[in-house]
Structure 1
Amino acid sequence: MKATVSDIARNCGLSTATVDRVLNNRPGASAANRQRVMEAAKQLGYLPVVDQVTLPSRPAHLEFFLPIGSNAFMMDLARHIEDYAARLPLVASCRIHNLAGISPGALQAAIENLSLRANGVGVIAIDHPRTRNILREIVEAGIRLVTLVSDVPGAPRSAYVGIDNRVAGRTAALLMGRFLSGRPGHLAMVVGSRSYRGHEEREMGFRSVLSEEFPNLTVTSAVEINDEPDISYTATMQALHNEPELLGIYCVGAGRSGVAKALLDARPQKKPVFICHDLTRATRGYLVDDLLDVVIDQNARLIAEQSVIRLLGSIASSAPYLTRKFIEPRLIFKENVPVQ
């Protein structure tokens, strides 16, 4: 027999009104009382649990702010969030906002459309003082927050859902060095946007391992393309022209299609090793066509599911932060491309 609000009230020695306020995330209960209520609810099995994350007692309204644009990974992420949320009874509604760019102004304009009934917000945003202030105001309004894909640690988010981007960059450098087997030479780097903390961390990790383990490899071109394939194409064509024997290309964020098109059009005598992130329909094709050597995939489906679960968990929890847990990236080669 399932526990009731009265059972929880008796267990923790508080009124049913206080228990009801806590379970439904309404103001009027102290932090200490919230902790007592949630602990009693957990002991009595009142709250559902998924992946060891305690969920709220009532359905919640979730909203996500994503700079989708023409980015295939972002499109996949948004689709997986909607699909997973639709299958969870504890999600009353799930709304995706397509940001008009990555600037703080774009986020501010989108936040104006945030529903008054929203309980939790997931966001992909750059690490900027204005962004941090926007996110702080969301939390101060009593809404729980998680960051996705690229963290904003200065914001009062309950959790970050994504890979360890510095480790991802270090992995890319290790793969590049192993692929090239000690050959000395030059590399090109295509950086999405250093405004994203995740892209900055990947670049840092990549350069660190080159310096530590492969000093024979030098990055001679590092162009920030703001995730624009046309700029990526031009930058890659220029790098191939300047370095006819370019050994490798690392694409830190989006812009993969621009690199692939440049490789097809330039037809270098020996194709550089090409490493990028995110398994999409396009990168699947690049892998099987031998344009691309390896994808470091952050798993859009898993990030989507965990972002929904962690938002629900943060709504149920009295603690400001949930336990940190990174998504494990996958290394995808042409021989192990998973079924869609």
Structure 2
Amino acid sequence: MTHRFPIKEVARQSGLSTATVDRVINNRANVSPQTKARVAAAISELEGQEAQLAARGRRLFFDFVIEAPTRFSREVQQAAEQVLPSIGSAVCRPRFQAQEIMTEDDVTAALSRIAKRGSHGICIKARDLPAIRAAVDQLIASGIPVVTLVTDLKTPKRLAYVGLDNQSAGRTAAYLIAKSIGNGGGAVLTSKSNDRFLGEEEREVAFKETLARLCPKLRIIDASGGSGVHGETSRIMQSVIAGLDEVRAVYSMGGGNTAILHALDQNWSLPDIYVAHDLDNQNRRLIEDGRLSFVLHHDLRVDLLNVFQAFLHHHKLMVMPLQTTMSHIQVVTPENIPPFNKRFQKRTSSNTH
């Protein structure tokens, strides 16, 4: 594996030992494909960040631990890479660990490994579970700041929550459905990726309260638990779709929309209105094809810039704290889909050194 970085630097970026990195780079035996992929990803990240090294300032390592479908974690990493050139007060080096499904033990083990090797900040998207909250509090007590992304944790010690205003998103989804289908009877299908993602829970509560007020005759059928992954979502849908009568609308809070649509299509239950979240590649194709009615979108590049700036302010590399870390909702329809490669607008540097 060709590269131009010291093994120690690749090891630090990948979170592996120098001995393991040495075995991968020299193509020695008994190395798993996953380990090879981690080393290759670390080298790619170092190459992508190398241009920053010419800038003056401290070099800070930030870790991302993300439980999400690959399509979303990839979007997060791309957003981080896009905003890094706009940060001039320090050299920020992100390190990513992402899995589609992470158990409580998976997350706590990842946080423990990061704590051992050291970090200037951890950005986490994980379920709100007791052991994860305890691990986060322990990290913070050790001096490592923690920012939650898109979905929050019930710990007052975290540095900030960054992402969508989830309650507003739930109310918006209910309003769009109510205005589109009126107050007749029928069912609205809702789907969360997992009950313990606090952000999705906030969306659901606000959605149900608003829909009950605007359209009291509609009833809600839940099809949650698929983790936003195609296979699991299909399995959940098959368990609730049999015998289901008219589905007038769908509110998908956690992804897996291809699987949901396929199951509804098989049951001849395609809805009049379908509201989803996030304009990732899959949802972009679906809304372009008219399969989704509305996508509640927020710019992940703004979120990631807020993540980095929250950390920089913590390390006293920004003069003023962020006024808000909440993202504005953009209601995307088939008629106003943003350009795929819309250029990120660099924020003004008035609040940085």
Q: TM-score, normalised by structure 2?
A: 0.73
Q: Which residue of 2 aligns with 1:107?
A: 107
Structure 1: which amino acid aligns with 2:220?
V
Q: In the alignment, is residue 125 of structure 1 matched against residue 126 of structure 2?
A: yes
Which runs of structure 2 are paired with 1:177-196 in the superposition (5 Å)?
177-196=178-197
Q: Which residue of 2 aligns with 1:66?
A: 66
Q: Distance in 2 between matches of 1:135 and 1:177?
A: 40
Compute the RMSD of aligned alpha carbons: 2.6
Following TM superposition, by how much is the alpha carbon of 1:293 offset from its aligned partner in structure 2, in angstroms? 0.5
Following TM superposition, by how much is the alpha carbon of 1:238 offset from its aligned partner in structure 2, in angstroms? 5.5
Structure 2: which amino acid aligns with 1:180?
I
Q: Which residue of 1 aligns with 2:231?
A: 230
CA offsets 1:91-141 (integer angstroms, 9 cap, x no match)? 342211224733321111112331634211111122122111101111111
Structure 2: which amino acid aligns with 1:129?
P
- Extract structure 1 runs of 4+ deviating beyond 4 A: 237-241, 321-324
Q: Distance in 2 between matches of 1:78 and 1:143?
A: 21
Larger mean Cα displacement after TM superposition, 174-183 or 219-228: 219-228
Q: Which residue of 2 aligns with 1:50?
A: none
Percent sequence identity over aligned pairs? 23
CA offsets 1:220-243 (integer angstroms, 9 cap, x no match)? 344332333223234445555423
Q: Distance in 1 between matches of 2:64 and 2:265?
A: 37
Find the residue that maps to 2:113 and give its secondary structure.
coil
Q: Which residue of 1 aligns with 2:83?
A: 84
Following TM superposition, by how much is the alpha carbon of 1:182 offset from its aligned partner in structure 2, in angstroms? 2.5
Q: Which residue of 2 aligns with 1:47?
A: none
Indicate if the aligned counterparts of 1:67 and 1:98 stay in contact, CA closer than 8 A: yes
Q: Which residue of 2 aligns with 1:28?
A: none
Following TM superposition, by how much is the alpha carbon of 1:189 offset from its aligned partner in structure 2, in angstroms? 1.2
Find the residue that maps to 2:164 and give its secondary structure.
coil
**Cα 1:240–1:273, aligned 2, differ >3 Å: closer, same or farther?**
farther
Q: Distance in 1 between matches of 2:324 and 2:135?
A: 23
- For CA contacts below 8 A with separation 6 or more, give which structure has more relative contact order: 1
Find the residue that maps to 2:301 and give its secondary structure.
helix
Larger Rg: 1
List gaps (5 residues or longer) in structure 2.
1-55, 341-353
Indicate if the aligned counterparts of 1:184 and 1:217 stay in contact, CA closer than 8 A: yes
CA offsets 1:165-186 (integer angstroms, 9 cap, x no match)? 1221111111111110232211
Q: Which residue of 2 aligns with 1:217?
A: 218
Indicate if the aligned counterparts of 1:133 and 1:155 stay in contact, CA closer than 8 A: no
Q: Distance in 1 between matches of 2:218 and 2:192?
A: 18
**Cα 1:312–1:95, aligned 2, differ >3 Å: closer, same or farther?**
same
**Cα 1:86–1:66, aligned 2, differ >3 Å: closer, same or farther?**
farther
**Cα 1:322–1:141, aligned 2, differ >3 Å: closer, same or farther?**
farther
Q: In the alignment, is residue 277 of structure 1 matched against residue 283 of structure 2?
A: no
Indicate if the aligned counterparts of 2:100 and 2:227 stay in contact, CA closer than 8 A: no
**Cα 1:279–1:57, aligned 2, differ >3 Å: closer, same or farther?**
same
Q: TM-score, normalised by structure 1?
A: 0.75
Q: Which residue of 1 aligns with 2:351?
A: none
Q: Which residue of 2 aligns with 1:326?
A: 326
Find the residue that maps to 1:167 and give its secondary structure.
helix
Find the residue that maps to 1:162 and give its secondary structure.
strand
